[in-house]
């Protein structure tokens, strides 16, 4: 009698885990699909021949003594952005990436996905890029919603918490859906 109750209890746990696994998968299917596609693209970004992530171009000098000041480089980047890319784009900086070994400074902006690579020593434009990898990353982690609605990262926090918990649920229920029947066959 005890073994029959134990087997029924194990079968009930399996049914509940299968139901939780199925409901979670159905509810979050679109999000998992997006995370899978964007994660794959991000994994390949450096090997995309510049399609996802631009290569880093080389400036004329790697000696920092030959370089213009960061302020001068920033002013040149802003002037170029306004005069040659679009007058409507914001010059608010998100990040300045200094590549001493390449003789290059990369400017990325906060409110759009344009990047400029400048020669550190003379401020000439080496490359203008659409920062597709940054856009894909924002889709991947949910911060694209915060970006467009100005929500200060709240959506990203909720989204990543839900996706992390869902992945944990899938791991636990998936393992049990694999292991549970094996256990039941061993202990009838």
Choose one of 94, 111, 130: the last residue of a domain.
130
Helices 154-186, 132-141: axis angle to 10 degrees equals: 60
Range of the domain at 107: 54-130
Residue 87 phi, psi (nearest 5): -65, -25
Q: Are residues 124 and 58 in the same domain?
A: yes
pLDDT for res 17: 81
pLDDT for res 4: 64
Q: What is the pLDDT of residues 75-123, one digit of tens each?
A: 999 999 999 999 999 999 999 999 999 999 999 999 999 999 999 999 9
Q: Indicate the number of domains in the chain.
A: 2
CA-closest candidate to residue 115, choices 69, 152, 139, 80: 80
Q: Are residues 110 and 18 in the same domain?
A: no
Choose one of 106, 130, 154: the last residue of a domain.
130
Q: Are residues 187 and 144 in the same domain?
A: yes
SS (H, E, C) 76-105: HHHHHHHHHHCCCCCCCEEEEEEEHHHCEE
Instruction: Look at the alpha carbons of 85, 87, 92, 98 in this order and tell me if their dihedral is positive or negative.
Output: positive
Q: Are residues 47 and 60 in the same domain?
A: no
Percent of the chain at pLDDT exceeding 70? 96
User: CA–CA separation, 114 vs 129, rounded Å?
Assistant: 6
Q: Are residues 61 and 109 in the same domain?
A: yes
Q: Are residues 72 and 125 in the same domain?
A: yes
Q: Are residues 112 and 166 in the same domain?
A: no
State the chain's mean pLDDT as an integer. Answer: 92
| CA dist 158 → 44, 65, 166 (Å) | 27, 46, 12
Choose one of 130, 161, 176: the last residue of a domain.
130
Q: What is the pLDDT of residues 128-163, one digit of tens each?
A: 999 999 999 999 999 999 999 999 999 999 999 999
Instruction: Please determine, for residue 25, whether its predicted confidence score (pLDDT) is greater than 80.
Output: yes
Q: Are residues 98 and 149 in the same domain?
A: no
- What does the pLDDT average to over 53-66? 96
């Amino acid at each position: 009698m005890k073994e029959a109750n134990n087997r029924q209890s194990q079968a009930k746990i399996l049914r509940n885990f299968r139901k939780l696994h199925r409901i979670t998968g159905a509810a979050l299917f679109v999000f998992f699909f997006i995370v899978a596609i964007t994660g794959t693209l991000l994994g390949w970004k450096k090997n995309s021949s510049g399609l996802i992530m631009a290569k880093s171009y080389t400036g004329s000098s790697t000696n920092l003594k030959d370089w213009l000041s960061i302020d001068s480089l920033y002013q040149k980047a802003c002037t170029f952005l306004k005069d040659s890319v679009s007058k409507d784009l914001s010059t608010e900086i998100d990040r300045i990436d200094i590549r001493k070994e390449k003789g290059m400074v990369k400017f990325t902006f906060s409110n759009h996905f344009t990047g400029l690579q400048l020669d550190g020593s003379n401020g000439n434009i080496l490359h203008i890029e659409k920062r597709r990898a940054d856009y894909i990353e924002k889709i991947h982690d949910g911060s694209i919603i915060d970006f467009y609605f100005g929500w200060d990262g709240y959506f990203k926090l909720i989204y990543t918490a839900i996706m992390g918990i869902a992945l944990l649920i899938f791991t636990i229920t998936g393992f049990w859906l694999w292991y549970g029947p094996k256990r039941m066959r061993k202990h009838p």
